[in-house]
Amino acid sequence: MISKKTILTGDRPTGKLHLGHFVGSLEARVRLQHEYNQFVMIADTQALTDNFENPAKVVENVYEVAMDYISVGIDPNLTTIFIQSQVPELTELTSYYMNLVTIGRLERNPTVKTEIGQKGYRDSIPAGFFCYPVSQAADITAFKAELVPVGDDQVPMIEQTNEIVRRFNRIYNTECLVECKAFLSKTSRLVGIDGKAKASKSLGNTIMLSDSPDEIKKKIMMMYTDPNHLKVSDPGQVEGNVVFAYLDAFATDKNEIDDLKTHYAKGGLGDMVIKNKLNDILQNILKPIAEKRSTLTPKYITEILQIGTENARKIASKTVAEVRSVIGLRY
């Protein structure tokens, strides 16, 4: 029997998931679960690193995120969905890896750097937050994952994980840990509806997977287009136009979108036409997701999380046993 390769990926439960997650990685997970041994982790411990004063928000969103997963088609029979904090083996691995990373290296992680700026931490960075790339390395390596489907902001985490893997294997003279690759989707970063760099729940510029049809429409009508496109007959700017960015990400008929772009750039195509087009497409994608969501009960979600977490723990304990043994912690 050829064993399947392993995937591990995860999300911080700090809010419901949105369209950025959908094109960035959820779609890929639904596809890949058939060919790979897939683990999807709800990263509540990591979410606490910048939400430790508000644990209730994190806990609440563990269930929301699990519902989002199941609603989009992640199948608990094919994918192991689990809760990070309930697998304490991950914390143990983190402490061994912490020795293999320097403060200087952590400071150079561009994603952490950006987040520190966004959160205004500067001189008072919580150590837990600063070190989360190390715990992320533990998440990935505990399952010996070879593939990590993530958005492009997570690529530095993968690089740092692989540095830890190489260092660990060299120092302890082993091949026990496995290097991984990021799996980027074609739209690994979706712009926010306001035209800001990235759709993000903390910036409030996203369409949530669980938004109602009215909310979806309202957000589309608010989308940033071309501020100089005042009259329908004016030539419009396609570049930087959020509606076109979303059409590129979600429309299946690329030729039709190319025609719309040409028409828009030439003039004579109103914003309402492209917004209505996008609305039709997104309503169609989100409708079955909302329908599936409405069938899910809290009991079912609790059950799949329990089963998934138990299974995840078994695998992680095996890796931890190996890791202790190669370090020489055998008593």
| C-alpha span between 239 and 195 (Å, rounded) | 11
Between 27 and 139, name the residue whose CB sits nearer to ligand TRP.
139
Query: CA dist 113 to 105, 109, 152, 199, 267, Å?
Result: 11, 6, 15, 18, 42
H-type helices in the chain, by residue range? Answer: 19-21, 27-32, 44-48, 55-72, 89-98, 103-107, 110-119, 127-130, 132-142, 155-171, 213-222, 242-250, 254-266, 271-294, 298-327
Using alpha carbons only, what angle is made at residue 308 by residues 304 and 309, rounded to the nearest 5 degrees?
Answer: 115
Minimum CB distance to ligand TRP smaller for 57 or for 263? 57
At its nearest, how many Å lie between ligand TRP and the CB of residue 8?
Answer: 6
Residue 11 or 92 with smaller CB distance to ligand TRP:
11
Q: Which of 29/275 has CB closer to ligand TRP?
A: 29
Q: Smallest gap, in angstroms, from Cβ of residue 246 to ligand TRP?
A: 21
Closer to ligand TRP by Cβ: residue 140 or 326: 140
Report in angstroms how near the CB of residue 269 gets to ligand TRP at its nearest.
37
Q: How far is the CB of 69 from ligand TRP (least distance, A)?
A: 13
Provide the binding-site residues for ligand TRP, judged by CB under 6 A. 8-12, 41, 43, 46, 136, 139-140, 148, 150, 154
Taking the complex as a whole, the smallest distance from the CB of residue 226 to ligand TRP amounts, in Å, to 32
Q: In what order do the strands lie in the sheet with 147-149?
A: 79-83, 37-42, 6-11, 147-149, 181-183
